[in-house]
Structure 1
Amino acid sequence: MGQYIVDFSNWIWDTPMLILLMGGGLLLFIYSGFLPFRHLGHAIKLVSGKFDDQNMPGQISSTQALSAAIAATVGLGNISGVAIAINMGGPGAIFWMWMSAFVGMATKYFSCTLSIMFRGKDSTGEVQGGPMYVIEEGMGKKWKPLSVLFSVAGVLGLLSIFQANQLTAVFRSVMINDSPKVLGFLTSFTEGLNGLLGVGLESEEVTKWILGISMMIIVGAVILGGIQRIAMVASRLVPFMVALYFITVIIILVQYIGNVPDMFYLIISDAFTGEAAMGGVVGAVIIIGARRAAFSNEAGIGTAPMVHGASKNNEPVREGLIAMLGPFIDTIVVCTLTALVILLTGVWEATEKDGVRLTLSAFDMALPGYGRYLLMMAVLVFALSTMFTYSYYGHKCFNYLFGAKKANYYNYFYLITIVAGAVVSLEVVVSFIDGMYAIMAIPTMISTIYLAPKVKAATKEYFQRMRAQKKY
């Protein structure tokens, strides 16, 4: 079964998703008149919240929506996903992650503008947003099968099994494998458990189960409080953790400052030669970069429109401008910092480790003694914040499919799968999530491109009005 999941993921991301996400995003980027570049400054001003109106329909502010969306994207995709990209596609994969991010800014602008423009209501009358409502309200009832397809893939693809898997891996590497006392305790505990239950469990398996159950309890304490609690926790955790991670990486970069230009040259040159990976096949490196960028910033997948659609905002364009900052912060800034640490320390050539363990090796080499603990703290906060927000995304998809009264059942299913994610293999986890992301992207990109003219018209009207009011 695991191999079928891997094969499907590899097939759908080979060409179809490259054309849909990169090609579609580039089309939107050009169609917008290169809006992400021209209006980036205005978008940054909007984040201050001075345009927010708490009396508008919705559940959270635009800034909280951005924090929650970034909580989902600035996470293990930036730490583990970057390592996977370099491991699979070499340094050149990072360049194609950058390109995906720039076109992704346009994609998020259009999709999140639409999430306010075409909001719907759930079975209780609560205002909701997201691709499923954009499709039904903006394109018409005949397109509803696309909404259902998105929601089914969202229920499965937005489980936090990848985060649980990688958080377990880094916790075992840092806090357990390097501690003889903890290892001794776990060995004795496992032997006692085997004697009591009459089974033959290994201490590694028991550790994974303990960590999985612990994560389930922590996440449950937040997500069962709804989007308000999720947004509140995310808006407090994410800025602090991004700042701490940024400072830590800068300390590392200072040590290797003379080699930084060479690393940028390596990233750019390898992007067009592919010599470091896949036998020199450049197309394969592009696919790997686009695939990991999609997992990292989720542009075109349809997740961010769900949380931005809950914003207390009646200005669709304003919400889109705020939302487009997500891929910039996530991929251009945070992913680049992680990539530089891995490349500058040389661990990507000197070890066969993958995922978060590769990044851990880089931090270990650059900051001996305490680098791994700083990374572990970042991984812990990033993973948990992503788990919080993903639960909201999946909850909204379940709500759309089965109604608000049954939606809370999803939370319990979601919590159980955290434990499952802690014990399964990394390859199967990554492939399953990638496959579901690809399916989610199909309805999202179709609706975004189909309704793009409405966004362009609203954009023109918005900036004319802002200039007339001297607010731009």
Structure 2
Amino acid sequence: MKELDLIIGKMASYAWGLPLLILLIGGGLYLLFRIRFLPFRYLGHAIAVLRGKYDSESDAGEITHFQALTTALSATVGMGNIAGVAVAIAVGGPGAVFWMWVSAVIGMSTKFFTATTAIMYRGKDSEGKIQGGPMYFIVEGLGKKWKPLAILFSISGLVGALPVFNVNQLKQALNDILLKPAGLYHGFSSDMLIGIVLAIITSLVILGGISRISKTASKLVPAMVLLYFVMVLFILGAYIEQVPVYLKLIFTEAFSASLFQGDTFLGGALGGLILLGIRRGAFSNEAGIGTAPMAHGAAKTNEPIREGLVAMLGPAIDTLIICTLTALAILVTGVWESSDANGVSLTATAFENGIPQIGKYALLLCIAVFSISSLFSYSYYGSKCMSFLFGAKYKSYYIYFYIASILIGATTSLSMMINLIDTFFALMAIPTMIATILLAPKVIIEAKRYFSNLNATKKID
């Protein structure tokens, strides 16, 4: 098992090398400057679209703008925000948070382009149903000769969409916060029992398809985000004198990397810190990876730019707000220096210190909801990849494989799970970013048309 762990770790390190960093960050910056920050000027309009002001039942698609965003967020708001941030700080110190912020701002632009493209170039599956996502906008937007890229994305998505990391960290949280203190933990048998229960819960929702998934996510995610927000504000209030200290440290450490303890990159600790922050940021908000466009591609709209604007809110909510809250809770309580814990256990220690007696249990509730809701969304992503590769009638086979993988995630190590998903996320990002950059000029033309019409309408009103 240790040898396999090392092999997967090397795969992840190789996959997240300089070429991918250039593609994700360089490509994202290209998109940001190419469109001249235009979508950022319409964040108010994006919120109006999200609230349903422009919804129409006659538009093509299956779910509302709000359901599309919450479905995408149910996959991204989860262990990436709670455990992923803790991993980043444990390895890179406070400076890693800054590079996660950089990833988020660039990711907002990337999400705008990928979600807009997912609507502009929707395709049809073997059953004739309208579908969106990188595999479809590659074929429909770039042509059949680019289909190998779509196949690469879909094959990678079959593994990248597996819930093993989220399950692994939820298992760890249940054991550390609930079972071990109560003397109820019994090793492998307890882990397997958790896996079985999660598999049953997941099955009840995902067998109902995207409609049931989106309705469930739209109810669960906003409530848990609010609860998490309130809890962290309480912790920050208790340690208010430490907040400005650590906000300053985030910026200074971002460029000194004096607390970085991971592998160097491009010959130095700073390069390693930047890569760590970008990698964990991408894992958190998935901008450029290609999963979220599959959810946004199912939105009911005939205006691609509207869905792009809604999608752009995702990294802002996910990384700039929720990841920052997690990071500050870990930093101001001092557990990042005093505890040997990592991943979700480090975050749980911070909440236990910040809100004695009930903090860790409230966090467990958030973790459970975030993790379980992400299990629903990822199953949809993987089944869409399966459908594209082999036909819609075979997607049910992926669902069974997906449910079985929950048991694997519950009984294996954190490092193996995070490196496995990181590797296939990297492979998914390659075709997604290449196609997005190539189709960017068409998105920009569509954006100028839409915003010009929007401004004209405002003047008439």
**TM-score, with length taken from structure 1:** 0.94
Give the letter aligned to residue 324 of structure 1. M
Instruction: Report which stretch shifted further, 24-33 or 36-45.
Output: 36-45
CA distance in 2 between counterparts of 1:449 and 1:88 reads: 32
Matched, 1:362 2:350: yes
Matched, 1:47 2:54: no
Choose from 157, 162, 180 the match for 2:160. Answer: 157
CA distance in 1 between counterparts of 2:348 and 2:39 reads: 33
Partner of 1:255: 238
Shift of 1:238: 0.3
Shift of 1:34: 1.3
CA distance in 1 between counterparts of 2:253 and 2:17 reads: 20
Partner of 1:9: 12
Shift of 1:36: 4.4
CA distance in 1 between counterparts of 2:19 and 2:378 reads: 25
Choose from 108, 112, 118 the match for 2:111. Answer: 108
RMSD value, Cα: 1.1
Choose from 439, 442, 445 the match for 1:454. Answer: 442
Partner of 1:470: 458
Query: Structure 2 unaligned runs (5+)?
Result: 263-267
Give the letter aligned to residue 189 of structure 2. V
Shift of 1:269: 0.5
Matched, 1:445 2:433: yes
Choose from 300, 304, 317 the match for 2:288. Answer: 300
CA distance in 2 between counterparts of 1:16 and 1:428 reads: 23
Choose from 396, 401, 419 the match for 1:408. Answer: 396
CA distance in 2 between counterparts of 1:175 and 1:344 reads: 24
Give the letter aligned to residue 107 of structure 1. T
Partner of 2:214: 231
CA distance in 2 between counterparts of 1:55 and 1:392 reads: 24
Shift of 1:66: 0.5
CA distance in 1 between counterparts of 2:415 and 2:177 reads: 21
Shift of 1:278: 3.3
SS state at 1:237 partner: helix
Matched, 1:98 2:101: yes
Query: Structure 1 unaligned runs (5+)?
Result: 184-202
For 1:25-424, list aligned pairs within 5 A.
Answer: 25-180=28-183, 182-183=184-185, 203-278=186-261, 281-424=269-412
* Contact 1:278-1:284 within 8 A present in 2 as well: no
CA distance in 1 between counterparts of 2:288 and 2:436 reads: 9
CA distance in 2 between counterparts of 1:12 and 1:309 reads: 27
Q: 1:75-106 CA deviation, whole Å, 9 max, x = no partner?
A: 11000000001011111110000000000000
Q: 1:347-383 CA deviation, whole Å, 9 max, x = no partner?
A: 0111111100000110111111111001100000000
Partner of 1:189: none
Q: 1:99-123 CA deviation, whole Å, 9 max, x = no partner?
A: 0000000000001000000000000
CA distance in 1 between counterparts of 2:261 and 2:335 reads: 19
Partner of 1:188: none
Q: 1:296-335 CA deviation, whole Å, 9 max, x = no partner?
A: 0000000111011111111001110011000000000000
CA distance in 2 between counterparts of 1:83 and 1:96 reads: 14
Moved over 2 A (4+): none
SS state at 1:289 partner: helix
Q: 1:372-400 CA deviation, whole Å, 9 max, x = no partner?
A: 00110000000001110000000100010
Shift of 1:16: 2.0
Instruction: Report which stretch shifted further, 131-140 or 13-22.
Output: 13-22
CA distance in 1 between counterparts of 2:397 and 2:84 reads: 30
Shift of 1:14: 2.9
* Contact 1:108-1:324 within 8 A present in 2 as well: yes
* Contact 1:116-1:308 within 8 A present in 2 as well: yes
CA distance in 2 between counterparts of 1:213 and 1:259 reads: 42
Shift of 1:2: 2.2
CA distance in 2 between counterparts of 1:157 and 1:69 reads: 15
- What is the percent sequence identity of the aligned residues? 53
